[in-house]
Structure 1
Amino acid sequence: MTERAEDLPGETVDAVGKVSEALEYVERARGHLYSFHQLIGHADLVLGEAVDALRDAGHGGIADRLQTEMVGRNVIDGRWTFQVVEEFDDTYHEPFRQAEADVRNQLTRGFRHVHEARMKEGRRTKGHPRHTEDPPPAPGTE
């Protein structure tokens, strides 16, 4: 096991690991939020194309209603998806990232994934070429 984890108490490592795991879920949620943002944005552009096609096909009244009621509509009161993403980033994501980093800096000397490093050490087969402790050095860095 790398020296970074040897002297840290197991209970502390496990607790910090849970904080990091929670952040990983927030990161996944943020990815889904960005997917939502992109999907809604694309849908709005396609709807704009549909409005043009309806108008060209002689359905101006229907096109006008869609244009007025739906194209460019807020997804949440007063907000487009980019604003939802920005507010999430500023209000929740960035503070959570900072809090997780603060916990790691205070309790694991800033090292990430200490819990997983210990798990790897306990599960790897020592001496097996595909179960090495650390990756090989990058070429030219030895």
Structure 2
Amino acid sequence: MTDDHRQASDPAHARPDGAGDELVATVGRLSEALETVERARGALYEFHQLIGGAHGMLQDVVEGLRSTGHDEWAERIRNELLGCNVLPGRWTFQIVEEFDDGYYRLFRQIERGVRDDTMAGRRHVYEAELKASLWRPRVPGHDAAR
């Protein structure tokens, strides 16, 4: 980013004094990495809900197999698959909780600490500067602040 286009249009996203281009880009990359982890977390919750939905379907399958005279398969599903851990010792809610309480919490703490220490706690400084550098006065949709 050039010096001419560094100023974000609002103070909440302004570059702190002394923060150089490389630091702003690096902290922006860290925030982007956190956004990717947020997407992974969403996929993990989707996995949790999909497995739960499949579990509910299996209960219907057991009933259907029994009612059609396939008691052996119904019993095998009921005894072996219903209630089975998806990973050793864990159901999906435990996986979600361990992820949230471990890696996810640590990642958020570190990203916040780096931002607090280097960007005065400001979020999206890099993106705000990119927006400012692409701003075109009097062009619809290029409002300076929002």
Q: Name the TM-score, length of structure 2 as normaliser.
A: 0.88
Within the candidate set 94, 99, 108, 1:83 is matched to 94
Q: How many residues align?
A: 135
Deviation of residue 11 (structure 1)? 1.3
Report the equivalent of 1:139.
none
Deviation of residue 5 (structure 1)? 2.0
Q: CA RMSD in A?
A: 1.2
Report the equivalent of 1:117.
128
Deviation of residue 48 (structure 1)? 1.1
- The aligned runs of 1:38-49 (5 Å cut-off) are 38-49=49-60
Report the equivalent of 1:24.
35
Q: Does 1:56 align with 2:82?
A: no
Report the equivalent of 1:65.
76
Report the equivalent of 1:138.
none
The answer for unaligned runs of 5 or more in structure 1 is 136-142
Task: String of CA shifts for 1:15-49, please: whole Å, max 9, x gaps.
Answer: 10011011011000001001111111100110111
For residue 5 of structure 1, what is the amino acid of its counterpart? Answer: R
Q: Name the TM-score, length of structure 1 as normaliser.
A: 0.90
Q: Runs in 1 of length 4+ with deviation above 3 angstroms?
A: none
For residue 128 of structure 1, what is the amino acid of its counterpart? Answer: V
**Is 2:15–2:125's contact at 8 Å kept on the other side of the alignment?**
yes
The answer for unaligned runs of 5 or more in structure 2 is 1-7
Q: Which one is further off, 4-13 or 76-85?
A: 4-13
Higher relative contact order (CA 8 A, sep 6+): 2
Deviation of residue 129 (structure 1)? 3.8
Deviation of residue 59 (structure 1)? 1.3
For residue 131 of structure 1, what is the amino acid of its counterpart? Answer: H
For residue 23 of structure 1, what is the amino acid of its counterpart? Answer: L
For residue 48 of structure 2, what is the amino acid of its counterpart? Answer: H
